[in-house]
Amino acid sequence: MEKKKQFVIDWYKEFNFRDDPFKPEILDPIEDYVVNYENERRKLNYFIIEKLPICLIEGPNGCGKTTLLHWLAYEISKDKGRIITILINENTNYDKLILQIITPHLSFKEKLLLKTPSKFLKFIKDRELSNIYESVFLKKNKPDISSFLESRLNYTKSICLLVDNIEKIKTDIKELIAELVGTSNVQIVVTGETDHIEKITGSMKGKNYKISLKGLDYESMKDLITKRIEGFGGSHLEPLNDDTLKKIYEKSERNPLVVLEKCRDKSVNIALENIEFKVMEQANVIKKETKQETPKPEELSNINEIKLKNEPYKIKAFKQGVTKEYKIETVENKDSKPVRVFHHKRNANKIK
């Protein structure tokens, strides 16, 4: 009998997945996993074409805002650096962000000076750049990033800042983003929950271009789950099925993140249901039932006397099961001494 598992750690391996397909993270390549939101993606494309200053993508947590942001970054990157994209999230550092914004627009010499700015600051002729270096490395003043970009950027090259979850962004970075709104050839896409985004972006100058996400319909959600499962080596919806996914979808409020969490939970439980804790116990019962018990010796009725070394013994003869061998057991002798005599295949031995 094949020995089955009684404990599982990498549950996804039970279904031949390479990894957990329901992880709440952006998968690469993003174009293989993004579904639906065709109208919203067209609107983002229009936003980039028209070089509008700021776009707000609003919706509840988990509805796909971050996925849409990464999709946009991926599509822009195909244009070989014509538009420089910078992703900003809650872990972004203020000083590093400033350097990330300005570095692509520096000359070779300015980039060399950037390595040891404290020694060569006096050789930097650009006033805006000198101001930025003093701010970042010497903490002397507030940098004027907008003026620097206005002087360096042109129609053929621009920046697109992609800000994920604006409500979680550090205050100094929020202030920087607000200052850059309206800068020539700088576009900003901001995502956030509906309840927070207008309050936070209200101070940003310029007219907002807004995109609202309402979640996915069932067929789009099914497409999303299928793509993830197949992307990790699975087949269609397995180990789930259409009925199971519909029940999950009905409780998700059209939210992809909620569906991913519930699909993972259901799949883990299916993997655990395959565990058979009683398999060893059943095997032991079968083994016990099939084990042949040695039959008890059958006592023969005749009692005879034999004589070994002139000593008389009374004996009993026992038939030894299927071997048909005989054991000769002493029952008494004239001196009442405990002596055993064994008779095996008619060869008698005396054991004292």
Q: Is the pLDDT of residue 44 over 90?
A: yes
In the prediction, which pLDDT does 202 show? 62
Q: Hey, how many other C-beta atoms are within 10 angstroms of the C-beta on 176?
A: 21
Alpha-carbon dihedral 226, 228, 234, 235, rounded to 10 degrees: 10
In the prediction, which pLDDT does 199 show? 65
In the prediction, which pLDDT does 132 show? 84
Find the range with the poorest average confidence among 50-59, 98-107, 119-128, 329-338. 329-338
Q: Is the pLDDT of residue 34 over 70?
A: yes
Q: Is the pLDDT of residue 166 over 80?
A: yes
Q: Hey, how many other C-beta atoms are within 10 angstroms of the C-beta on 22?
A: 22
Find the range with the poorest average confidence among 149-163, 178-192, 248-262. 149-163
In the prediction, which pLDDT does 21 show? 96
Nearest CA-CA partner of 36 in 70, 17, 64: 64
In percent, the amount of the chain with pLDDT more than 90 equals 48
- Map residue 85 onto helix, strand or coil: strand
The mean pLDDT value of the chain amounts to: 80
User: 133 and 38 in contact (C-beta within 8 Å)?
Assistant: no
In the prediction, which pLDDT does 131 show? 82
Instruction: Assign 294 a pLDDT band (cuts: 50, 70, 90).
Output: low
Q: Specify the higher pLDDT residue, 199 or 227.
A: 227
In the prediction, which pLDDT does 101 show? 93
Q: Specify the higher pLDDT residue, 198 or 254.
A: 254
Q: Is the pLDDT of residue 346 over 70?
A: no
Q: Averaged over 156-173, what is the pLDDT?
A: 91
Instruction: Assign 107 a pLDDT band (cuts: 50, 70, 90).
Output: confident
Q: Specify the higher pLDDT residue, 275 or 234.
A: 234
Q: Specify the higher pLDDT residue, 274 or 3.
A: 274
Q: Is the pLDDT of residue 109 over 60?
A: yes
Instruction: Assign 246 a pLDDT band (cuts: 50, 70, 90).
Output: very high
CA 89 – CA 162 distance, rounded (Å): 9
* pTM of the full structure: 0.72
State the residue for tokens 């293989």: 32
Q: Is the pLDDT of residue 303 over 80?
A: no
State the residue for tokens 């805006």: 128
Q: Is the pLDDT of residue 114 over 60?
A: yes
Q: Specify the higher pLDDT residue, 190 or 296.
A: 190
Instruction: Assign 207 a pLDDT band (cuts: 50, 70, 90).
Output: low
Phi, psi of 305 (to 5 degrees): -110, 135
Burial class (CB in 10 A: 0-12, 13-18, 19+), 63: buried
pLDDT digits (tens, 9 = 90+) for 176-198: 999 999 899 999 999 998 777 76
Q: Specify the higher pLDDT residue, 302 or 132.
A: 132
In the prediction, which pLDDT does 86 show? 96
Q: Averaged over 139-165, what is the pLDDT?
A: 86
pLDDT digits (tens, 9 = 90+) for 84-102: 999 999 999 999 999 999 9
In the prediction, which pLDDT does 67 show? 94
